[in-house]
Chains A and B, each alone.
Chain A
Amino acid sequence: MADDPLTHKNENGHSADPQSQEQKLQTMISALWERSRHTVVERAALLRTAGELLVDNRLDQATQRHAVDSAHKLAGVLGTFGLPRGTDLAREAEELFGQSMPPSKPEIERLQVLLAELTHLIDLGPVGAR
């Protein structure tokens, strides 16, 4: 496809310069992260609450389901925003909250550690948004 020499846009109307496309997209995603951040923070907070209830052996089924759902959604979105480690941690949390048997003491301890790391990562945000 021929590029327009003035705008560097091709016949589809989008920029033909891959670096420019990448920068533009990164800027847009950073802005979207700022708008979406409160939802991500709320989901992480729900996971921490569920984790605390689990420690006290007071986690009810409804909160457990919400925790699994929140962890699943975080796993699906964090990597797209540039936090692949956040996706890994959220997947692990989803698995631990979702298992049919109550988690063992080491699993609960692991959950607390990974939720603390997840919270820290979300507080920092993606590199491009810092």
Chain B
Amino acid sequence: MERLPAFENHARILMTPRILIIDDEDDIRQVAAMSLETVAGWDVLLASSGKQGIERASTEQPDAILLDVMMPEMDGPTTLLKLKANGSTSHIPVLLLTAKVQGPDQKKFAEMGVAAILFKPFDPLTLARQISAALGWKDGG
């Protein structure tokens, strides 16, 4: 089915966004979840590995995915490629969360179809606003 971005953005204002956070670090997952739930009132889904994240994305159909870059076994870029290759998840915007700041990495990620790159450490008070701005959502909490 063809998707209409303008309609989706309008719908986003009316519905509570659901965000899937994929990160192997417990403390990062928890602080990001607290931030998005408390500041913006969003619904948050969690996954501690790329494999688990792909499964949750496929079954739960979140509105966006916040994906860590450095993870054991399946790293962020590999997870991103699998999400984009899967028909049931390819439409979900993915934001990479990385502590790496080098330019070549950013260029590579952009070419892989990532919606935005957010940097660690993030500010828990403004994380929802950063995500909203990156995705063109109007309600950033």
Bound complex: CA of A91 vs CA of B101, how far in Å? 10
Assess A29 versus B121: contact at CB under 8 Å? Given A36-B27, A72-B70, A75-B99. Answer: no
Bound complex: CA of A40 vs CA of B54, how far in Å? 28
Q: Are the CB atoms of A25 and B30 closer together than 8 Å?
A: no
Is A102's beta carbon under 8 Å from chain B? no
Q: Are the CB atoms of B121 and A12 closer together than 8 Å?
A: no
Assess A39 versus B121: contact at CB under 8 Å? Given A21-B39, A28-B34. Answer: no
Total residue contacts A-B, CB cutoff 8 A: 70
Q: What 0/1 readout, one digit per residue, does chain A (37-61) give for beta carbons within 8 Å of chain B?
A: 0010000000000000000000000
Q: Are the CB atoms of B120 and A77 closer together than 8 Å?
A: yes
Q: Are the CB atoms of B141 and A14 closer together than 8 Å?
A: yes
Closest B-chain residue to A69, C-beta based? B70
Assess A12 versus B16: contact at CB under 8 Å? Given A75-B120, A76-B120, A79-B121. Answer: yes
Is A110's beta carbon under 8 Å from chain B? no
Q: Quick one: which of A1-49 are within 8 Å of B by CB?
A: 10, 12-14, 21-22, 24-25, 28-29, 32, 35-36, 39
Name the A residues within 8 Å of B27 (CB-CB): 32, 35-36, 39, 77, 81
Q: Quick one: which of B16-59 are within 8 Å of A by CB?
A: 16, 25-28, 30-31, 34-35, 37-41
Residues of A near any B CB (own CB < 8 A) = 10, 12-14, 21-22, 24-25, 28-29, 32, 35-36, 39, 72-73, 75-81, 84, 87, 91
Report, nearest first, the 9 A-B pairs whose CB atoms are least far apart: A79-B121, A14-B41, A76-B120, A76-B99, A12-B41, A36-B27, A80-B121, A25-B38, A28-B34
